[in-house]
Structure 1
Amino acid sequence: MAKSILLPIDYSDPKSWEKALPVAREQAGFYGASLTILTVIPEILHLPNLPDNYGDGAAEHVKTKIKAILVEQGCDDLKVEIRQGSVYREILKYAHAEKIEMIVIASAEGDFPNYEIGPNLARVVRNAHCSVLVIRD
């Protein structure tokens, strides 16, 4: 039984949430669990030719996009967390730190022989301390 569920999504990729969000909500309802949405912004490298404040506001921009998706889906009451760094590492770190008991994650299209299992998904499944429910497209 899960009391806390994590759904990592990418606001720019509807495949990451269109099927997974309803399943995550269903699981949360079934178990009476909390559901948290997590988005990871890839780390922005600070190169010499970029201004020091390059990337400022990215987290707020992403959070606004995520909130719009949740409003559209009728679940704007969900907790939203934004992290920056390596996608799979941040998912695993957050899940561990918050004692998440289930991760619901959508698969991505992949090439043979790893159909729909991208590198981030594979690492989350392989290294998560909790159950991982993969929603295939």
Structure 2
Amino acid sequence: MFNQILIPVDLTHKEHLERLRQAAQLLIDGVGSVTLLYVDPIMVHRDALMMELEESQFDEHRQEAQAQLQSLSESLQLENVTMNVVTREGVAHDQILEYASEISADAILMMASQPGVSSYFIGSTAERVVRHADCSVFVIR
């Protein structure tokens, strides 16, 4: 079915990773590649935070996020699958779409947040990715 799957990961909701792993195993076509992508929004608000945080704290934050993502990747244990991890900074839906295009992803597999009042006005990351992606998008609730 799919050979190149992109899985955006929210490090504050690691409990969703098992469901994403199960779905990825079903979608992967024999041998393939799965990329876990963490988009760090901290740099979007860097100017406001710069007064409070030093550059070394930003570096420490980046390294911690990369280490967590690598650990999650190692825990997935997908058969015949090459695992990759990538961290990017910026607005989540923009970075997901941009990176999916860069790697020519066949599919994006992501979790949807529970809808709330704010999603009627702002819209969710998953909704924006579904609307603008050039590949198949699977959203798990």
The bucket for the TM-score relative to the shorter chain is 0.7 to 0.9
Task: Name the structure 2 match of 1:9.
Answer: 9
Task: Name the structure 1 match of 2:34.
Answer: 35
Identity %: 27
Whole-angstrom CA distance in 2 between matches of 1:52 and 1:81: 21
Q: Which amino acid aligns with 2:59?
A: D
The TM-score with structure 2 as length reference comes to 0.79
- Correspondence 1:89 to 2:94: yes
Q: Deviations over 1:8-42 (max 9, x none)?
A: 111220244231122113322x3532111111000
- Correspondence 1:133 to 2:132: no
The TM-score with structure 1 as length reference comes to 0.81
Could you list the runs of 5+ residues in structure 2 that have no partner in the other structure? none
Could you list the runs of 5+ residues in structure 1 that have no partner in the other structure? none
Contact 2:73 2:84 in 1 (8 A): no
Q: Which amino acid aligns with 1:69?
A: L
Q: Give the C-alpha shift of residue 108 in structure 1.
A: 1.3
Aligned residue pairs: how many?
133
Whole-angstrom CA distance in 2 between matches of 1:77 and 1:121: 25
When you count strand as a share of all residues, which structure comes out higher?
2
Which of 55, 58, 79 aligns to 1:55? It is 58
Contact 1:16 1:105 in 2 (8 A): no
Runs of 4+ in 1 over 4 A off after TM superposition: none
Task: Name the structure 2 match of 1:121.
Answer: 126
Contact 1:15 1:108 in 2 (8 A): no
Q: Which amino acid aligns with 2:27?
A: Q
Whole-angstrom CA distance in 1 between matches of 2:88 and 2:137: 20
- 2:42 is paired with a residue whose SS is coil
When you count helix as a share of all residues, which structure comes out higher?
2
